[in-house]
Amino acid sequence: MARREQLVSERARAATLRMLFPEIGQLRLELAFNDPSKGSTQPSPQLHTLYSAAPAFFRFACPCADCDGDFDLTESVTKLIASAPGHRRAASLAGNLSCRGVRFREHATLEIACPMQLTFRLSAEPHKPE
């Protein structure tokens, strides 16, 4: 639980999207999780739409309640925005990440990595002219 509280605290202290990426009006993060060890029971996908006043914080806790890991999309978001042609058109980027956390129930016996996988799609739209 302390890990999730830390993420909430860091998000609250993060600079706004406007401050870090003033050319971006909207950032959309689509997250789909897959735990190959769980079979058909999978966490629900997430959709985050961030506008210029939102915190520019791109780390998301692993959806497994017993995992201490997170998914850090900061590098991917930075790459996406840097690749936006002149920041005048929408741009998108897709990718995959693996959780690097450890499941709590595994701590007592073995250090087994969380098997959760993330497939993400990011899209950025520039500010619309007024």
| Measured distance CA(24)–CA(54) in Å, rounded | 11
Taking 70 as the threshold, does the pLDDT of residue 129 lie above it? no
Q: What is the model's pLDDT at position 102?
A: 87
- What is the SS3 assignment for 106? helix
CB atoms closer than 10 angstroms to residue 39: 7
Instruction: Tell me the pLDDT of the chain averaged across its residues.
Output: 87
How much is the pTM? 0.86
**Given pLDDT bands bounded at 50, 70 and 90, which one contains residue 38?**
confident
Burial 66-83 (b: 16+ CB within 10 A, else e): ebbbbbebeebbeebbee
- Report pLDDT digits (tens) over 54-72: 999 999 999 988 888 999 9
Domain count, the chain: 1
The range of the structural domain enclosing residue 24 comes to 2-126
Q: What is the model's pLDDT at position 16?
A: 95
Q: What is the model's pLDDT at position 40?
A: 67
